[in-house]
Chain A
Amino acid sequence: MRSQLHFDAVVIGGGMAGLTAGTRLAQAGAKVAVLAKGYGSTHLSPSTIDVLGYTPERVRSPSESLGKLIAERPDHPYALVGVDAVSDSLSWFADCAAHGPLPSYEYVGGIDRNLAIPTAMGVLRPSAMVPSTMAGGEASALGTVAIVSVPSLREFHPALCAANLTAAGIESRALTLPMAVERADMNPVGMARRFEDPAWRGHFCAQLLAQLRTEEHVGLPAMLGLNDPAAVVADLERRLGRTVFEIPTLPPSVPGMRRYEILRSALRAAGGRLALGADVISHERSNGRVTSVSTHAAGRDLIYVADWFVLASGGFASGAIELDSHWVTHERVLGLPLRGVPEAGSPRFEREYLTEQPLAAAGVAVDAELRAEGTENVFVAGASLPGATPWREGSGEGIALASGYRAAAVIAGGLRTEEGVAS
């Protein structure tokens, strides 16, 4: 028994790059399916939109530094997509957020100036755009700060955050409120539910007010509600009479869940389909074109036939690119050729964990339009692309967003041409 479904375009991967590509294609009028094995990096990352943070010097203005990066590194994803796609995709995403399902929850900032907002470690993170609930943490606006948490939230250490912030020139101290929750350890998702409850917020604020000094701003782990975080922050600010801001946490990421919801609902509003649990297990090719992919659905395999495909399945972290036990590197979904794999004999890894790791820059080989080498109709976006070291550059979301946006634009151009030929 084989079931076949037909689409203009199929996107493989439901992270930032895949959802962006799928939504843009659906908005361009294409019949689109986004196939996701599970949730992607959206649920794990801080959900700031980091475009370019370090080159390795700290970047003040991404738009200025991108030109230099592009000139020096023609194989970098940003060199392929161009500055315009970065800037356009950021505006587009900000628009999705502003008109999305979370009232008054917006992304603020832009490509011209990096914001500097505190991380859970108390480091000032250079980000192009951040959720409005984090914007109050912008370093230039901060006087003295109280970093506040509750003991049951194990993954957030206010003392560590405050000490590092103080070392970075922002006078901070840690406060841990002995708020009773019904379990010994809570993650930020569980806490987000508590903060949606006005009675909890009242109790929390009463305890906190007793300890706050008059001039202190309040930084809290990013757990201030899932469905209406802007209202939660506004309510806390009203009760406390001062600026309150969120600080990204370790996974799971509450702002990441909000960001997923923004993109998922934009995809749906544009008529795109999303299948979760749809792991792509095989594909068919004919004359340099991928003609279909199969997913392992319940009971039988489902065949998705399409004219265009976007591969946004991620890199080593998601498992879409792997180094096997024979030291051979593969792209596992479509078996596409890779670029940037260190040659036999040369080092694949460096000893220092967070340094430039030669193998980690490997990705699917693409042409200047993000088309996968050896195919006519497969485009690549996000962490599947070679040439970047996002954890050093602070560029992951920017690359995902801009390449997903750009791949969709190239395909939409192709669709228009096909329509022109047909009519």
Chain B
Amino acid sequence: MTDLLELAQLRGTLDHCVKCTICETACPVSNVSPLFPGPKYAGPQSERYRVADEPSVDLSVDYCSGCGICSQVCPQGVKIAEINAQARDKLKRQKGWPLRDRIITRPTWLGRAGTPVAPLANLSLKLKPARILIEKTLGIHRDAAMPAFAGRRFSAWARQRSDGLKSVRKIVYFHGCGTEYYEPWEGEKLVAILEHNGFEVVVPKQDCCGLPLQSSGLFDDARKVLGTLARALDPYLTDDDTIIVGNATSCTLMLKREGREVLGLQDDPVLKRVSSHVYDICELLLELHDRGELKTDFQPIDEVVAYHAPCQQQGHWVGKPALDLLALIPGLQVREMNARCCGIAGTYGLKVEKYEIAQAVGRDLFDQVAASGASTVLCDSETCRWQLADATQRPAAHPIEYLYQAYGLGS
């Protein structure tokens, strides 16, 4: 890409900032912590002073959680979060990365190491002395919610499956690391829902999307990981209408947009091709419903649930499809939460220096869930679900779990 084009697409957008402060109303972090001055100051205002090869002007940008809400609400199209992510990369290059950031940003390594010894690994993550040790040595907060290894891998289930539906209508499934190592049942339910609707689900061999690396400012590694994933999915694009679907909404967003914009990979032809085929599962199911192609043989579920649209889901710029899907289930009462963010932002809320901020960010949401009378809280992102389950002491599930149940697929 030419420098001029890049300037127009990302950094150049700062010239559209009219200082209206709308991003300040929406930033979850600056509204609870003095350590981050807010998207307007850290973004378009500081960016004017950031010059290549000169030191970072603003250390506070490390406290941006990367949720991306500022860019979503900006009425002038300033790419605030993306500008800040690049500034964070530069800052990290100068200051260096703690060992922790090189470990927790590699869900594949963690998953492969933890899966065979899952009971032991899960137990030790529950033991206070072990957590204190981890906090002292690595800087992962002792109280931060950590997911439990499932002890089995989704891809193993998918590979050994011989009774899957065979159909001319094929969908490629990008399951991501959360489903692979921690919640394989989410993937199994997604497959069941798609097969119920007549689709054959194809599961390519795949790996991480690189989002955790990008969030911690490890851009070079993130580029490699995302490029590898795009090349693993690319051969499955048989025609213009091929659909790649995922249930990890932040990872599908990484494939669709964030990686290309933030990591400067707009020119990667493979990633560009792949990204235009990617759907988030609720986005896809609602689109099928709009076309009259989604089965609606839903059985009633008499329950009150809370729904939180995570920040990264909002970054797809398609509204909140899960709400419209859940509305199709008779009897189900869905309480839409209007608090902004749960605080975790991937790995942000795990870090010892950011844990308290993340908890303060999430407080509004935790209180709303508690007040909603909901039995379960639904959310499209796995790291947010882990945070919500821990903080609200309620089960947290992906919205598709309720579709699965309403279809009667579990019985």
Contacts and interface: CB of A to CB of B under 8 A. Distances in A.
Interface of A: 1, 3-6, 33, 36-40, 43-44, 101, 182-183, 187, 189-190, 193, 227, 251-252, 257, 261, 264-265, 268, 271, 273-279, 295-300, 302, 318-319
9 shortest A-B CB distances, which residue pairs?
A: A299-B256, A38-B75, A277-B317, A183-B34, A275-B319, A298-B257, A298-B256, A252-B21, A1-B276
A299 B278 contact: yes
A4 to B, nearest CB: 8
A306 to B, nearest CB: 12
A278 B338 contact: no
Contact of A39 (B26, B30, B257): B26
A158 B357 CA distance: 32
A5 B287 CA distance: 7
B68 to A, nearest CB: 9
B336 A276 contact: no
Contacts of A189: 24-25, 31
B315 A39 contact: no
A299 B275 CA distance: 5
A44 B21 CA distance: 8
Contacts, number: 115
Contacts of A319: 16, 75-76
A190 B74 CA distance: 19
A290 to B, nearest CB: 19
B297 to A, nearest CB: 22
Interface string B19-37: 0111011100011101000
24 contacts: A1-B276, A3-B287, A4-B291, A5-B287, A36-B75, A38-B72, A43-B21, A183-B34, A187-B21, A190-B31, A252-B25, A264-B338, A265-B336, A268-B323, A268-B336, A273-B320, A276-B72, A298-B256, A298-B316, A298-B318, A300-B275, A300-B276, A302-B317, A319-B76
Interface in B65-105: 71-77
Contacts of B163: none
A251 B31 contact: no
Contacts of B290: 5-6
Given A252-B21, A268-B323, A299-B276, A277 B315 contact: yes
Contacts of A182: 34
A4 B30 CA distance: 37
A330 B32 CA distance: 41
A215 B75 CA distance: 44
Interface in B6-20: 16, 20
B336 A275 contact: no
B171 interface: no
Given A39-B26, A273-B324, A296-B317, 14 more contacts: A37-B77, A38-B72, A38-B73, A43-B25, A189-B24, A190-B31, A193-B32, A252-B21, A276-B317, A277-B317, A295-B317, A298-B253, A298-B257, A299-B278
A278 B73 CA distance: 10
A261 B364 CA distance: 15
Interface string B311-327: 00011111110011001
Contacts of B32: 193
A298 B287 CA distance: 15
A187 B24 contact: yes
A38 B80 CA distance: 13
Identify which of B20, B22, B25 gathers the most chain A CB atoms within 10 Å of its CB: B25
Contacts of B267: none
A101 to B, nearest CB: 7
Contacts of B278: 299
A146 to B, nearest CB: 27
A298 B320 CA distance: 14
A274 B71 CA distance: 16
A299 B257 contact: yes
B343 to A, nearest CB: 14
B240 interface: yes
B277 interface: yes
B29 to A, nearest CB: 11
B277 A251 contact: no
Contacts of A297: 316-318
Given A38-B74, A190-B31, A193-B32, A265 B277 contact: no
A4 B292 CA distance: 13
A137 B6 CA distance: 51
Contacts of B277: 1, 299
Interface in B24-56: 24-26, 30-32, 34
Identify which of B76, B77, B317 gathers the most chain A CB atoms within 10 Å of its CB: B317
A44 B317 contact: no
Contacts of A43: 20-22, 25
Nearest to A275: B319
A38 B76 contact: yes
Contacts of A40: 75
B298 to A, nearest CB: 17
A380 to B, nearest CB: 18
Nearest to B26: A39
A4 B74 CA distance: 25
A277 B314 contact: yes
A251 B22 CA distance: 8
B316 A252 contact: no
Given A3-B287, A38-B75, A299-B256, A44 B316 contact: no
A250 to B, nearest CB: 9
Nearest to A299: B256
Nearest to B283: A3
A273 B319 contact: yes
B60 to A, nearest CB: 11
A101 B315 CA distance: 25
Contacts of A279: 77, 317
A30 to B, nearest CB: 15
A33 B321 CA distance: 12
A68 to B, nearest CB: 35
B215 to A, nearest CB: 17
B25 A298 contact: no
A296 B76 CA distance: 14
B34 A251 contact: no
A299 B338 CA distance: 26
B306 interface: no
B41 to A, nearest CB: 10
Given A6-B290, A183-B34, A298-B256, A37 B25 contact: no
A323 to B, nearest CB: 15
B241 interface: yes
Contacts of A271: 327
A408 B367 CA distance: 36
Contacts of B316: 297-299
